[in-house]
Structure 1
């Protein structure tokens, strides 16, 4: 069962950004399903790493578009990205600390 389902109401009407958002929905669903299935922390951690890696890529892409377009709320939106990325990395740190490995530095 999916946690997230893409809907056109989420569209920003920029095809590449919408495609990346759809990919993030898929990765988050994969993470949710792994957690729901009670898969080992190692499996969940690997999926979470993929979510974080793609999120970092997506945020950089989106931020470049905003800068290039002169988006007026660019700084506030970047701050939201930093906060979300930090939250995801903290979750990964806590999960990986239980495994004795930690990929994400403080």
Structure 2
């Protein structure tokens, strides 16, 4: 399954939506690599990107929330912190010999959690910012 920034995932905020596209592009490249038998080699650079991405993107969202007085800030921030911790756990659990199919599955499941968060919480934030 490829990830696309469809209307149900757009927040209406140009920065947030652009960064979500970057996320989907990176994950889709990994999936393409998996489909061509190169997933193991692609996982390490993708994990590096994701670990950097969540720090950058989440800080951008949180700054927008603080500036706008978003009432869901604390809940959103808590989700972000927990998400980053779990992503680090997934990255740290990948064996030195390289990722397994199970590792790829765990990462994909964790990405799905973020997509669900985008569909609900980030959409709420986008609606609030447009007011």
TM-score, normalization by structure 1? 0.79
Gaps of 5+ in 2: 98-131
CA spacing shift, 1:89–1:34, aligned 2, 3 Å: farther
Alpha-carbon distance, 1:34 to partner: 3.3
Contact 1:42 1:99 in 2 (8 A): no
Greater relative CO, 1 or 2 (CA 8 Å, sep 6+): 2
Contact 2:51 2:87 in 1 (8 A): yes
Gaps of 5+ in 1: 101-106
- Corresponding position of 1:47: 46
Alpha-carbon distance, 1:5 to partner: 1.6
Contact 2:30 2:39 in 1 (8 A): no
Moved more, 13-22 or 34-43: 34-43
Alignment root-mean-square deviation, CA: 2.0
Partner Cα separation in structure 2 for residue 40 and residue 15 of structure 1: 31
- Corresponding position of 2:121: none
Partner Cα separation in structure 2 for residue 93 and residue 34 of structure 1: 21
Aligned length: 98
Moved more, 35-44 or 6-15: 35-44
- Corresponding position of 2:80: 81
Superposed counterparts of 1:1-80, under 5 Å? 2-39=1-38, 41-80=40-79
